Chain A
Amino acid sequence: MSTLPPTGLRFENIDKRYGGLFALRRVSLEISPGECVVLAGRNGSGKTTLLRIAARIVSPTAGKLSFPGAASDSSAGRPGYVAHTTMVYDELTAEENLILFAKLQDVPNPPVRAEELLREVGLYERRDSAVRTFSRGMRQRIAIARALIHRPSVLLFDEPATGLDPLGISWLARTLGEVNRAGCTVVMSLHGESEISALATRAVQLDAGAVVADTKSGAALRSILSFGGA
């Protein structure tokens, strides 16, 4: 799926402060190209902030973020990001939303790419419906389609299974597996074990904004994932 040279992520001593509150403290992580990393931790541990910094939506207070191997002149070098909100326009139809974001990112032949993704996420029949008429699960599917529209080499997913039914979760696990096998680096925050967490090759646990565990080994990885961060 990814047509670019694989891209990694490097966080160097990242701090993020909101007023006097530290959301992240001295976070240093090196994520290799093609890895599938799960961020685990309690609510408020800093997972979302770390993902938003990786997506370059939020600037760190201190520290440095880089994308080793990224083609800076191409839109595919920009990460694809799925947040808690859909990040699409409710007043536009599913197809209009995807075409809009495809055009903004110089995707060749936006209507064709939009149609391809609408079929992939199972929303083709509803392509002409305004997103505001969609159920929670359908909204999550269109959010995922938006993140995939420019064939990014890095995917950042913040609790991507939210609102998806078991079939949706299986579909997402399949899709993430495909893009990851194609060389795309995947970083996602998850709660608990699932078909999606089974894709993880590494788990990073955050607590109070700091990395407290980082493992690639099977047992320790499952232990972090099963903790999930209640």
Chain B
Amino acid sequence: MALLSNTATLLGKELRTEFRSRELLTTTSVFILIVLVLFSFATNPGTEEAREFAPGLLWLAILFASSLMFQSCFLREQVNDTLSSLRLAVSDPFAIFLAKLIANTLFLLLTEALMLPFFAIFYNITIWSQLPLLALVLLLGSFGIAVAGTAISAISAQARMRELLLPLLLLPLLTPVLVVSATVTGGLLDRQPVVQWKGIAFLGVFDLVFLTALWIFGQYFLEE
């Protein structure tokens, strides 16, 4: 119960500080739009080639935006050493991770919701018929990115070469979830849509495994 109430309190704090400054949401939304616009010039919208590359580009844009998000996730706790005061206050340090993880997933999903209409327009792809399944893939994929990203953000925030360490650790770790997310999204956005349930199940398992690992080892990531 303490874990849940601490998580809810910390999540409230994360959302309040973000919606007050809109720092992350503005940066990631603008960044993701720029990436989509730039990539759209590389292919001819509406062609088979564009349809083939679009899912990969979509997840690449999400990856870039999320790494911006994770860079500051734990770094902002170091400004006034608030991470120490949180560790002193919470009964279970997993609450700190859980709150940040949920907040990061929500911010990512919000950015994706803003981006999807532009993605559909720039690449001339109909997404509405597959929206519920696409939303499920975005949810599972984003959660997977957020769970690994939150953990790596905690580790790298305490390191000396933190700006370098985050992408260096994050990209290899996220390769499986990105490949599968892009493949499943590709299947859904095909002219004859295919639902790849195995891929969706893989994303669910990835999320569960990383969440369990974070629960078990998370407290060590927070130690000085």
A contact face: mostly helix, strand, loop, or mixed: loop
Instruction: Please give me the residue from chain B that is nearest to A106 by CB atom.
Output: B2
Q: A residues within 8 A CB of B10?
A: 104
CA distance A228 to B89 in the complex (A): 31
Q: In whole Å, how far is A159's beta carbon from the nearest beta carbon of chain B?
A: 14
Q: Are B9 and A57 touching (Cβ within 8 A)?
A: no
Q: B residues within 8 A CB of A79?
A: 88
Stretch at the interface among A82-90, A170-178, A192-200, A201-209: A82-90
Q: Are A58 and B224 touching (Cβ within 8 A)?
A: yes
A101: Cβ under 8 A from any B Cβ: yes
A59 in contact with B223 given A100-B9, A106-B2 (CB within 8 Å): yes
Question: What 1/0 flags go to B106-143 for Cβ under 8 Å of A?
Answer: 00000000000000000000000000000000000000
Q: Are B79 and A55 touching (Cβ within 8 A)?
A: no
A83 in contact with B84 given A90-B79, A91-B20, A91-B21 (CB within 8 Å): yes
Q: Are A87 and B9 touching (Cβ within 8 A)?
A: no
Instruction: Please give me the residue from chain B that is nearest to A100 by CB atom.
Output: B13
Which B residues, 7 to 46, have Cβ-Cβ distances below 8 Å to chain A?
Answer: 9-10, 13, 16-17, 20-21
Q: Are B86 and A83 touching (Cβ within 8 A)?
A: no
Q: Are B88 and A56 touching (Cβ within 8 A)?
A: yes
A146: Cβ under 8 A from any B Cβ: yes
Instruction: Please give me the residue from chain B that is nearest to A103 by CB atom.
Output: B9
Instruction: Please give me the residue from chain A that is nearest to B78 by CB atom.
Output: A85
Q: Are B6 and A90 touching (Cβ within 8 A)?
A: no
A105 in contact with B89 given A88-B80, A92-B13 (CB within 8 Å): yes
CA distance A34 to B95 in the complex (A): 32
Which A residues, 57 to 95, have Cβ-Cβ distances below 8 Å to chain B?
Answer: 57-59, 75, 78-79, 81, 83, 85-92
A15: Cβ under 8 A from any B Cβ: no
Q: Are B20 and A57 touching (Cβ within 8 A)?
A: no
B49: Cβ under 8 A from any A Cβ: no
Q: Which of A79, A86, A100 has the most CB of B within 10 A?
A: A100
CA distance A83 to B2 in the complex (A): 26
A81 in contact with B88 given A57-B224, A59-B223, A89-B13 (CB within 8 Å): yes
**How many B residues have CB within 8 A of the partner chain?**
24
A86 in contact with B20 given A56-B88, A104-B10, A105-B89 (CB within 8 Å): no
Q: In whole Å, how far is B18's beta carbon from the nearest beta carbon of chain A?
A: 9
B85: Cβ under 8 A from any A Cβ: yes
A101 in contact with B89 given A59-B223, A87-B82, A91-B17 (CB within 8 Å): yes
CA distance A100 to B13 in the complex (A): 8
A35: Cβ under 8 A from any B Cβ: no
Q: B residues within 8 A CB of A86?
A: 80
Q: A residues within 8 A CB of B162?
A: none
Q: Are A87 and B80 touching (Cβ within 8 A)?
A: yes
CA distance A85 to B90 in the complex (A): 19
CA distance A202 to B126 in the complex (A): 75
Q: B residues within 8 A CB of A103?
A: 5, 9
Instruction: Please give me the residue from chain B that is nearest to A149 by CB atom.
Output: B89
Q: B residues within 8 A CB of A92?
A: 13, 16-17
Question: What 1/0 flags go to A29-56 for Cβ under 8 Å of B?
Answer: 0000000000000000000000010011
In the A-B complex, list the 8 residue pairs whose CB atoms are closest, starting with the nearest: A87-B85, A104-B89, A85-B81, A103-B9, A57-B84, A85-B80, A91-B17, A86-B80
Q: What residues make up the interface of A, taking CB atoms closer than 8 Å to B?
A: 52, 55-59, 75, 78-79, 81, 83, 85-92, 96, 100-101, 103-106, 146, 150
Q: What residues make up the interface of B, taking CB atoms closer than 8 Å to A?
A: 2, 5-6, 9-10, 13, 16-17, 20-21, 79-82, 84-91, 223-224
A sample of 8 cross-chain residue pairs with beta-carbon separation below 8 angstroms, ordered by A number, consists of A58-B224, A87-B81, A91-B20, A104-B6, A104-B10, A104-B86, A106-B2, A146-B85
Extra inter-chain contacts (8) besides given A52-B224, A87-B81, CB under 8 Å: A55-B88, A58-B223, A86-B80, A87-B84, A89-B13, A91-B21, A103-B9, A146-B85
